[in-house]
Amino acid sequence: MARTHLKRPASANSTTKATNGSLPDVPRIVEEVIDSVRREGDAAVQRYSEQFDKWSPSSFKLSKEDIDQVMARVPEQVINDIKTVQSNVRKFAEAQLNSIKEFEIEMAPGVFLGQKNNPIDSVGAYIPGGRYPLLASAHMTILTAKVAGVRNVVACTPPAAGEIPLATVAAMHLAGADEIFILGGIQAIAAMAIGTETVPKVDFIAGPGNAFVAEAKRQLFGQIGIDLFAGPTEVLIVADETADPYMIATDLLSQAEHGPDTPAVLICTSAEVAKSAIKYCDDQLTTLKTAAVASVSWRDYGEVILADTIDEAYQIADEFASEHVQILTANPREALTKMQHYGALFLGPMTCVSFGDKCIGTNHVLPTKHAARYTGGLWVGKFLRTVTYQEVKSAQASGELGQLSNMDSKAPADNARKDLRPIKRFVTTHTPEGTTTFSNVLSEDAPFQTLPDNVDFALCYATNQFPVNLNNEADINTYRHYTENLPGITLPTGTVLRVVDIPPGAISPMHRTISLDYGVVLEGEIDLILDSGEKRVMRRGDISVQRGTNHAWKNRSEESWARMLYVLQPATSLRVAGHELHDNSMHTIPGYEEEEAVAKN
């Protein structure tokens, strides 16, 4: 299938890119503010609010009287419009809630298993300000949380030019916010995540924001839950020969005006329509009030691709996995079956993306930067914790389950007893007076778990940022989160310390992770096997350095267990022989029979 670019993004040579070197160091600034709020509480919040927003009231929290005064100043028509939109959002969120079922089943006589959906206790909602305050974020975050059953919603929004943003506060109040703070930026996110003298600590934070807000959520993730790692808004339009090129141009620019780094993409099967859309974009930018922003975005991130067929257009669109995908074709509903990766679909010429942003009822907090390949947007389920329970009422069943749980491991050498001693892990910290001590927050026993293939592994430590933040035990809190929410083999922004106990004779699948991994044999002897067929024997104390290669491990002993220690670090994308490599898993190992590998696992 052929694809032709009629317009490529100019970001490689753009003003935006060229000036990025002079932009502030966002991660460093965010870390500094978070650490200050952690140490100083409200004093730091007050200082940074004055510095960033020129806003330092005696109290950031609005009292009931303050809110009543705001409501009295908002025009009646605005109030009615807010209520209409919130009715739409509530109705859709309630339908989502009704689609999530609790259940209980009797797995065996006298053995009951069930699932419940418990709402998060306390949620922080961030309602952004900025160039064009989007008060609809109040509906999307606060109201959706309330429909889910969240008991306490703490809502923050920045001041608008030194004033309380009246319509935004009205929307927050009508959505059901329990506490409202006129507080923005990093300091708002940090205050809600950590808790101060006046801002209550929450369990989860939802809502969009600028790069500083997004980075604050990233750094605090693990101490609190978050909705998404959101980036600049995105729009992608799939069109055919039936589409109106003027409408295409209008819809592309209506999103491009949100910021100078907004991707606006057209994938079209008609060269005539695509070329006309480009011309209309150029024409509209000569009169558009927001052209100063939209023109930069269209120049640097605008893209027009010509596809041979509509199926190819859908395939290309799936590769982008964009936030907003608008379908302007003769049969727009076919996208529901032909596309998989998007934040939200907008079907047909009468369904404008702005409807979803502001009023139609679906949630506008959506995944960006290809995240739609693995997650959806904010919805009522984000505010629920799906938990399970079990109850055994039969003495016979209880006895049978007890026998089953105490059975010897069916390792490759059947009935082989694990001959490795338990591992101790010692974590140091500081007392409030500054002396060193051993942490009592984490157990000194390594937290081993048994995998389905009878391999035992322990996640001994994990971090989620470089450099690691050791202040106020932030790294310990991050690790504790991962013990309850196990990460993948690697973490994209941090390190993993893992110990793996390998049963006698066991062979792992051939696999690759795009990471830099240090491996040390602690006990036993291990074969390190590469996909070329090469092999090295590793004995106790020997070290491997895995650099994104395809490999497998084999315990050389048929009688004794082996133990490996791994330190895994993320790596940039890896290209070999002109091809980008990816994580993968294979079933066969050179030099070993497939049946042997299966049997050993």
CATH number at residue 510: 2.60.120.10
* pLDDT (0 to 100) of residue 455: 85
Last residue of a domain, one of 314, 345, 373: 373
Residue 176 region by backbone torsions, left for phi larger than 0, else alpha for psi between -120 and 50, else beta: left
Are residues 241 and 214 part of one domain? Answer: no
- Overall domain count for the chain: 3
Of the given ranges (49-53, 185-189, 595-599), which has the lowest mean pLDDT? Answer: 595-599
Are residues 590 and 496 part of one domain? Answer: yes
Last residue of a domain, one of 323, 357, 373: 373
Asked whether residue 263 is assigned to any structural domain, the reply reads yes
How high is the mean pLDDT of the chain? Answer: 89
pLDDT tens track for 78-137: 999 999 999 999 999 999 999 999 999 999 999 999 999 999 999 999 999 866 667 899
Structure-block tokens of residue 138:
């109040």
Of the given ranges (8-22, 77-91, 210-224, 263-277), which has the lowest mean pLDDT? Answer: 8-22
Are residues 530 and 415 part of one domain? Answer: yes
Last residue of a domain, one of 208, 226, 244: 226
In the chain, pLDDT over 70 holds for what percent of residues? Answer: 92
Catalytic one of 257, 323, 364, 551: 323
In the chain, pLDDT over 90 holds for what percent of residues? Answer: 70
Are residues 159 and 80 part of one domain? Answer: yes
Categorize the per-residue pLDDT at 411 as very low, low, confident or very high, splitting at 50, 70 and 90.
very low
Element at 515 (helix H, strand E): strand 515-523
Catalytic one of 324, 364, 473, 551: 324
Residue 165 preceded by cis peptide, ω within 30: no
Are residues 293 and 169 part of one domain? Answer: no
Are residues 242 and 212 part of one domain? Answer: no
* pLDDT (0 to 100) of residue 399: 74
Residues, the chain, total?
A: 601
* pLDDT (0 to 100) of residue 412: 41
432 has pLDDT over 70: yes
Q: What is the CATH number of the domain that holds 89?
A: 3.40.50.1980
* Orientation of helix 185-194 relative to helix 211-220, angle to 10°: 20
Contacts of 425 (CB under 8 A, 6+ apart): 442, 444, 445, 446, 460, 461
Asked whether residue 541 is assigned to any structural domain, the reply reads yes
Distances (CA, A) of 98 to 91, 93, 362, 380: 11, 9, 15, 10
Asked whether residue 404 is assigned to any structural domain, the reply reads no
Asked whether residue 4 is assigned to any structural domain, the reply reads no
Mean pLDDT of 233-247: 96
Asked whether residue 6 is assigned to any structural domain, the reply reads no
Structure-block tokens of residue 460:
């001994």
Residue with tokens 């059975």: 407
Residue with tokens 């220690």: 565
Are residues 53 and 166 part of one domain? Answer: yes
Are residues 277 and 352 part of one domain? Answer: yes
pLDDT tens track for 533-557: 899 999 999 999 999 999 999 999 9
Are residues 214 and 269 part of one domain? Answer: no
Higher pLDDT, 50 or 415: 50
pLDDT tens track for 120-147: 999 999 999 866 667 899 999 999 999 9
Domain that holds residue 177: 26-104+114-226
433 has pLDDT over 60: yes
pLDDT tens track for 189-226: 999 999 999 999 999 999 998 889 999 999 999 999 99
Contact between residue 135 and residue 171 where contact means Cβ atoms under 8 Å apart:
yes
Contacts of 208 (CB under 8 A, 6+ apart): 126, 128, 134, 137, 230, 365
pLDDT tens track for 337-367: 999 999 999 999 999 998 988 899 999 999 9
Q: Is 275 exposed, middle or buried (0-12, 13-18, 19+ CB in 10 A)?
A: middle
CA–chain centroid gap for 571, Å, is 19
DSSP-derived secondary structure letter, 343:
S
**Is 324 in the active site?**
yes
414 has pLDDT over 50: no
Write the secondary structure of 529-581 as one string of H (helix), E (strand) and C (coil). EECCCCEEEECCCCEEEEECCCEEEEECCCCCCEEEEEEEEECCCCEECCEEC
Are residues 354 and 455 part of one domain? Answer: no
Alpha helix positions (H), 133-270: 136-138, 144-148, 166-175, 185-194, 211-220, 245-256
Are residues 360 and 237 part of one domain? Answer: yes
CA atoms of 576 and 570, how far apart (whole Å): 17
Are residues 312 and 190 part of one domain? Answer: no
pLDDT tens track for 505-525: 998 888 888 999 999 999 999
* pLDDT (0 to 100) of residue 579: 84
16 has pLDDT over 60: no
Of the given ranges (103-107, 317-321, 474-478), which has the lowest mean pLDDT? Answer: 474-478
Categorize the per-residue pLDDT at 1 as very low, low, confident or very high, splitting at 50, 70 and 90.
low
Asked whether residue 510 is assigned to any structural domain, the reply reads yes
Contact between residue 427 and residue 438 where contact means Cβ atoms under 8 Å apart:
yes
Asked whether residue 386 is assigned to any structural domain, the reply reads no
Asked whether residue 13 is assigned to any structural domain, the reply reads no
21 has pLDDT over 80: no
